[in-house]
Every structure is written in structure tokens, then in C-alpha cells.
Amino acid sequence: MSANETKLPYGTIKNKKLIMNFSAFDMDLPVIAAGVRERSDVLKELQVAFSGFGTDVPEEMSQQKPAEIKVFFEYLGKETDATVILKRVYHIVWSGIIQEFPDLVDWAEAKADLSSLTFAQAEVMRVRREK
């Protein structure tokens, strides 16, 4: 870690940029996006821009090593310490995610629907390969 880099439990601040990291096993992109959107007015007031999403897919994916979702922010202001502002953004975004997180029943139903879709897609691929 360099002198101008700050490590957070699920992220890193370097220069004027914050990168938040989420495991695709634990968190879905729509939930993260909803949390960012929920707090977008505060981000604007803090002069922080949401810069997008990205995914790091490990060479060997397994249940123990899922893809990692990255969320990017950049401090655009000039008159204050970017690290202090980006630490606030880190906590603000987490609170937005918690606020927008679906209740357990909705979450379980969505996961079951995704599982059914994935199984159906696998069956279609198997049938096509057999032809």
C-alpha cells in the first residue's frame, strides 16, 4: 500500500478515486445500483461522481471464488481532502445499499427465480449440443 492509498474493509481510496468491492456471491448488481441511486443526491453535494461498475472474473470461478463487482467513484472537488470525502461516500453508499436491500422473502424468491432461469438455460444448451 502506497502512502496515498487508503484501504477500507471493502474498498480502496487512491488519489481522488474510490473503488468499492463486492462479491457477486453476496450482493447482486441491482441491489448495489439501487443503493448508489438512493444516495446520488448526497454524492452530488459532496462533489463525487459515480463512475460506473465493473466485474473481475477470476480465471477459475467456483462457489468459493465468485466474480467480484467493483463500483467506481471519483472526487471532483478541489478544496478539501479527497480521502475524507471518499470515506464518507463509502459509508453513505453502504447505508444506501442497506436501505434498498430487499426483504428476505423477496430476496429468496429472486434467487430461486435466477436459479430456475440458469437451470433452464443449461438445459437448452444441453439439448442443442445433443442435436
**Residue 68 identity (one-letter amino acid):** E
Please tell me the pTM assigned to this model: 0.73
Classify residue 112 as exposed, middle or buried by CB count within 10 Å of its CB (0-12, 13-18, 19+).
exposed
Give the chain's end-to-end CA distance (angstroms, integer).
54
Cell 492509498 sits at which residue?
5
Rg (the chain; Cα; Å): 18
Q: Which helix (H) or strand (E) holds 71?
A: strand 68-75
CATH number, domain 5-100, options 3.90.220, 3.30.300, 3.40.50, 2.120.10: 3.30.300
* pLDDT, tens digit (0-9, with 9 covering 90-100), for 25-78: 777 888 889 899 999 999 999 999 999 998 876 677 666 677 789 999 999 998
